[in-house]
């Protein structure tokens, strides 16, 4: 699909992980999961300054990784990334493995992340299906506003059929960029889209799917916010008493639940009557 590739060459963003090492790509993929680019950029740059190789991160402590993760959210990703670095050093000589099979065996790496690393770090032709690409395909070729659930076999078959012969990973980057910047979830810029003339969704007057009215989980007062408050306090101080942490949240039962889940996830440690980040 030359129109997409032409559009990408003219409009692609200058993102630093597009000109970095395989390790830099891997770090970016962990950080970009459920987190927008503008929040990832400063944290990614900070991590690559501190830990430019897997060996550098593996030699640090888990608490350092959790502290530097900052407010990116979902701190289990930081723990998985730390564990990933350790495995890369122990089993792959400190180099990010190239094969999909080896990538899938690393902590925190599933189908999408393995394909993305293979495409963006090693320039392989892979079926990469993040939400931006899936939305683009769903609208243009299936005529629906949003994809449903997880990718299915028919979706993968369509995606594979669309990849140009001789692709070096550029197709995945181009379709992802088009989905993120033009075929946006809300208020898509159809008049700027290189696929506007063949888009089935546009041709059928933008029908909405039943998923369109789905509720967005609230943040304020949620378990996630409570966990975030606790993690932020522990990033600020080496050791915080249970009493001081409990005072940060009004709902004591929700606080206890959050503490228990953070302990179960291996993100914090209990030290007497106090807590710290996992070491």
Residue 17 lies in domain: 2-122
Q: Are residues 79 and 173 in the same domain?
A: no
- How many separate helices (H) and strands (E) can be counted in the chain? 15, 3
Interatomic CA distance for residues 35 and 42, integer angstroms:
13
Q: Length of the chain in residues, anyone?
A: 279
Q: Are residues 233 and 183 in the same domain?
A: no
Q: Are 31 and 40 in contact (CB under 8 A)?
A: yes
Beta bridge partners of 271: 274
> Backbone dihedral region of 143: left (phi > 0), alpha (psi from -120 to 50 degrees) or beta?
left
DSSP string of 201-243?
Answer: HHHTT-PPPGGGGPPPPP-TTSHHHHHHHHHHHHHH-S-EEHH
**pLDDT at 212 (0 to 100):** 47
Interatomic CA distance for residues 101 and 114, integer angstroms:
8
> Backbone dihedral region of 30: left (phi > 0), alpha (psi from -120 to 50 degrees) or beta?
alpha
Q: Does 218 reside within a domain?
A: no
CA–chain centroid gap for 197, Å, is 31
Q: Are residues 110 and 137 in the same domain?
A: no
Q: Is the dihedral of CA 218, 222, 223, 228 positive or negative?
A: positive
Interatomic CA distance for residues 254 and 250, integer angstroms:
9
DSSP string of 9-62?
Answer: HHH----GGGSS-HHHHHHHHHHHTTS-HHHHHHHHHHHHHH-SSHHHHHHS-H
**pLDDT at 90 (0 to 100):** 98
Identify whether 256 is a catalytic site residue. Answer: no
Domain of residue 69, CATH code: 1.10.340.30
Q: Does 105 reside within a domain?
A: yes
- Give the 3-state secondary structure of residue 269: strand
**pLDDT at 18 (0 to 100):** 94
Looking at the structure of the chain, the number of domains it has is 3
The pTM is what?
Answer: 0.90
Interatomic CA distance for residues 81 and 71, integer angstroms:
16
User: Which residues, 6 or more positions from 213, have their beta carbon under 8 angstroms from its beta carbon?
Assistant: none
Out of 29, 126, 155, 177, pick the active-site residue: 29
Q: Are 105 and 88 in contact (CB under 8 A)?
A: no
Q: Are residues 51 and 163 in the same domain?
A: no
Q: Does 32 reside within a domain?
A: yes
Q: Provide the b/e sequence for 167-183 (b: ≥16 CB within 10 Å).
A: bebbbbbbbbbbbbbbb
**pLDDT at 133 (0 to 100):** 97
- Give the 3-state secondary structure of residue 277: strand
Q: Which of 95, 122, 149 is the last residue of a domain?
A: 122
Q: Does 108 reside within a domain?
A: yes
Domain of residue 253, CATH code: 1.10.10.10
Q: Please tell me what DSSP assigns to residue 151.
A: -
Q: Which of 96, 122, 148 is the last residue of a domain?
A: 122
The tens-digit pLDDT sequence of the chain (279 residues) is 799 999 999 999 999 999 999 999 999 999 999 899 999 999 999 999 999 999 999 999 999 999 999 889 899 999 999 999 999 999 999 999 999 999 999 999 999 999 999 999 999 999 999 999 999 999 999 999 999 888 999 999 999 999 999 999 999 999 999 999 999 999 999 999 999 999 999 999 999 875 544 555 688 899 999 999 999 999 999 999 999 999 999 999 999 999 999 999 999 999 999 999 999
Q: Are residues 202 and 237 in the same domain?
A: no
Closest Cα to residue 65, out of 267, 269, 260? 267
Interatomic CA distance for residues 44 and 48, integer angstroms:
6
């Amino acid at each position: 699909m030359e129109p997409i590739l032409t559009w990408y060459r003219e409009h692609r963003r200058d993102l630093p992980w597009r000109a970095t090492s395989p390790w830099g790509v891997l770090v970016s993929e962990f950080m970009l999961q459920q987190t927008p680019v503008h929040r990832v950029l400063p944290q990614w740059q900070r991590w690559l300054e501190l830990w430019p190789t897997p060996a550098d991160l593996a030699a640090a402590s888990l608490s350092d990784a959790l502290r530097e993760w900052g407010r990116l959210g979902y701190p289990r990703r930081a723990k998985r990334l730390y564990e990933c670095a350790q495995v890369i050093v122990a089993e792959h000589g400190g180099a990010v493995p190239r094969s999909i099979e080896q990538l899938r065996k690393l902590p925190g790496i599933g189908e999408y992340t393995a394909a993305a690393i293979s495409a963006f770090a090693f320039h392989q032709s892979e079926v990469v299906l993040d939400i931006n690409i899936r939305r683009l395909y769903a609208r243009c070729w299936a005529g629906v506003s949003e994809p449903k659930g997880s990718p299915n076999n028919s979706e993968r078959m369509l995606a594979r059929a669309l990849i140009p012969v001789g692709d070096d990973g550029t197709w995945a980057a181009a379709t992802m960029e088009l989905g993120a910047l033009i075929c946006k979830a809300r208020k898509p810029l159809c008049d700027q889209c290189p696929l506007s003339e063949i888009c089935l969704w546009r041709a059928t007057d933008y029908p909405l799917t039943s998923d369109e009215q789905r509720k967005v989980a609230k943040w304020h007062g949620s378990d996630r916010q409570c966990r975030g408050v606790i993690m932020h306090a522990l990033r600020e101080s080496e050791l915080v008493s249970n009493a001081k942490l409990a005072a940060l949240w009004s709902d004591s039962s929700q606080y206890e639940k959050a503490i228990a889940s953070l302990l179960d996830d291996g993100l914090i440690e209990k030290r007497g009557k106090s807590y710290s980040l996992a070491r």
